[in-house]
């Protein structure tokens, strides 16, 4: 069963016309004949889940706090999964018996890391450090702090059972530590780039530690693989979405706004911005990805979307069924005039807000698309991850860029290393 549907009725009469290009780009993906084809491992999500599940179970029993150290694709996919599946208040997961999960090394903020160390002070800590090279500045700095904290608290021997490394199969600084210290290790496959790694141990171990059924996440991804590997755009919603967003881009709609109606999607939107922005923004082109959270931002960016420059399109990411239903209570005096909604669910009102906004924005000159998933289930999440990965790869090829490299990321790093007097720079 598919957990996802795609709708494109609010396009202001734009007619899809690029299925021939999609056909040839599909061949490039399937045959590995396009640019960046050394990085197509994400197309076949296949992981030894048993080993991850076993370790995750013991970490859940052992730790009160689980710190995930990584940046870019090494943290945002896991965070997207946790927020989507577990709680709108993702730092307060611990109620289900597992550890609270925090992220570190995704920035260089002194106050952030100080606040974090205060928060976890006195609690039993485990760490998962995720970095292919082991030398990326941000996570390497954070790992120094947390390694020291754990070694001081539990000794080098205790640290063995509290530090888990996710890294390259053989190269890099973290493999040296694994060999010296005996840390447990998971491998980031060579053919999977950071922003496509959520369905590898990078994303799956933290999700499993949070108590998420990762077999179901992968089952959803495999459903996505089945549906979104179909060659015909008529039968493939990921390609349909990719084709339409490329067409909109060509018509001058150069900013795409991902609009959700649930705080549970907050970090998913960040994952999507990395995936789309880093894959497509190069060679002086690419859709600019932005995100909003409605109805909150209908009272913020809503004005701009309704009446600002007409260079945007909107992709609604919708949830069909909340985990729980709240019904609006009746009130005796009806001072707020809301009794016409008494007994209705919040989902009902939220859904009408979506319909009202989609129509208003369309009429205001903002074409919009919508992606709806059934529920906050691991299967739906897995399928959704796969949907966007496939769609973004396709859009990249349609726009004639390599969707799997990120050459621009090096420029600031080189400047920074020079300014920091790093040896060799």
Q: How far is the CB of 154 from a second copy (least distance, A)?
A: 17
Task: Identify the residue among 30, 38, 148, 226 touching a second copy (CB under 8 A).
Answer: 148
We find the least distance from the C-beta atom of residue 143 to a second copy, in angstroms, to be 7
Q: Report if residue 336 touches a second copy, rule: CB under 8 A.
A: yes
Instruction: Rule CB under 8 A: choose which of 48, 135, 232, 250 binds a second copy.
Output: 135
Cα angle 44, 45, 51 (rounded to 5 degrees) comes to 140
Binder to a second copy among 24, 44, 176, 232 (CB under 8 A)?
176
**87 binds a second copy per the rule CB under 8 A:** yes
Say whether residue 48 binds a second copy (CB under 8 A). no
**Least distance from C-beta 269 to a second copy, angstroms?**
11
Say whether residue 288 binds a second copy (CB under 8 A). Answer: yes
343 touching a second copy, by CB under 8 A: no
Q: Give the interface segment with a second copy, choosing from 36-44, 157-165, 322-330, 385-393 (CB under 8 A).
A: 322-330
User: Using CB under 8 A, which of 44, 48, 250, 415 touches a second copy?
Assistant: 415
Segment lying near a second copy (by CB under 8 A), choices 24-32, 59-67, 176-184, 233-241: 176-184
Between residues 28 and 117, which has the closer beta carbon with respect to a second copy? 117
The CB-side HSE value for 128 (13 A sphere, CA atoms) comes to: 32
Contact between 173 and a second copy (CB under 8 A)? yes
Shortest reach from residue 118's CB to a second copy, in Å: 8
Q: Between residue 246 and residue 285, which ones bind a second copy under the rule CB under 8 A?
A: 254-255, 261-264, 270, 273-274, 277-278, 280-285
Structure tokens at 326: 């709240």
Selected binder of a second copy within 30, 48, 303, 400 (CB under 8 A):
303
User: How far is it, in rounded angstroms, from Cα 65 to Cα 94?
Assistant: 8
The yes-or-no answer on residue 138 being catalytic is no
Is residue 361 annotated as a catalytic residue, yes or no? no
Task: Give the residue, chosen from 140, 227, 253, 318, that forms a contact with a second copy under the rule CB under 8 A.
Answer: 140
Closer by beta carbon to a second copy, 227 or else 378? 378
Q: Taking a C-beta distance cutoff of 8 angstroms, is the pair 3, 216 a contact?
A: no
Q: Look up 363 and say whether it is catalytic.
A: no
Q: How far is the CB of 372 from a second copy (least distance, A)?
A: 15
Q: How near is the Cβ of 148 to a second copy at its closest, in Å?
A: 6
**Residue found by looking up tokens 């709708």 in the block:** 7
Given the residues 95, 171, 327, 413, select the one marked as catalytic: 413
Task: Determine, following the binding rule CB under 8 A, whether residue 304 of this chain makes contact with a second copy.
Answer: yes
Closer by beta carbon to a second copy, 27 or else 151: 151
Given 17, 180, 299, 355, the catalytic residue = 299
- Residue numbers annotated as active site: 278, 299, 413
């Amino acid at each position: 069963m598919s957990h996802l549907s795609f709708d494109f009725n609010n396009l202001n009469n734009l007619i899809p016309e690029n299925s021939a290009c999609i056909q040839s780009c599909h061949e490039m993906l399937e045959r590995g004949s396009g640019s960046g084809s050394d990085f197509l491992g994400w197309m076949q999500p296949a992981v030894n889940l048993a080993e991850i599940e076993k370790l995750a179970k013991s970490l859940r029993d052992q730790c009160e706090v689980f710190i995930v150290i990584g940046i870019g694709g090494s943290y945002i996919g896991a965070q997207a999964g946790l927020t989507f599946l577990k709680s709108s208040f993702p730092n307060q997961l611990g109620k289900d018996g597992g550890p609270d999960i925090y992220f570190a090394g995704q920035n260089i903020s002194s106050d952030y890391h100080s606040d974090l160390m205060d928060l976890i002070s006195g609690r039993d800590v485990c760490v998962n450090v995720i970095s292919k090279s082991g030398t990326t500045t941000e996570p390497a700095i954070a790992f120094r702090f947390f390694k020291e904290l754990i070694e001081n608290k539990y000794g080098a021997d205790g640290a063995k059972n509290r530090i888990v490394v996710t890294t390259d199969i053989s190269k890099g600084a973290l493999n040296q530590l694994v060999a010296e210290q005996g840390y447990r290790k998971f491998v980031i496959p060579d053919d999977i780039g950071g922003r496509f790694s959520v369905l590898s141990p990078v994303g799956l171990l933290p999700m499993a530690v949070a108590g998420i059924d990762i077999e179901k996440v992968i089952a959803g991804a495999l459903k996505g693989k089945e549906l979104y590997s179909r060659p015909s755009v008529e039968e493939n919603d990921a390609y349909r979405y990719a084709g339409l967003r490329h067409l909109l881009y060509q018509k001058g709609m150069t900013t795409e706004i991902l609009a959700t109606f649930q705080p549970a999607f907050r970090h998913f939107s960040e994952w999507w911005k990395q995936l789309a922005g880093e894959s497509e923004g190069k060679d002086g082109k690419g859709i600019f990805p932005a995100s909003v959270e409605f109805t909150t931002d209908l009272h913020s960016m809503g004005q701009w979307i309704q009446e600002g420059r007409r260079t945007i399109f909107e992709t609604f990411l919708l949830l069909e069924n909340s985990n729980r239903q709240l019904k609006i209570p009746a009130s005796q005096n009806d001072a707020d005039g809301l009794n016409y909604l008494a007994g209705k669910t919040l989902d009902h009102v939220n859904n009408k807000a979506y319909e009202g906004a989609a129509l208003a924005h369309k009429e205001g000159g903002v074409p919009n698309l919508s992606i709806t998933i059934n529920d906050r289930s691991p299967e739906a999440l897995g399928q959704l991850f796969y949907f966007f990965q496939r769609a973004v790869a396709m859009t990249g090829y349609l726009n004639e860029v390599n969707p799997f490299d990120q050459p621009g990321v090096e420029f600031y790093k080189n400047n920074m290393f020079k300014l920091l007097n790093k040896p060799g720079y």
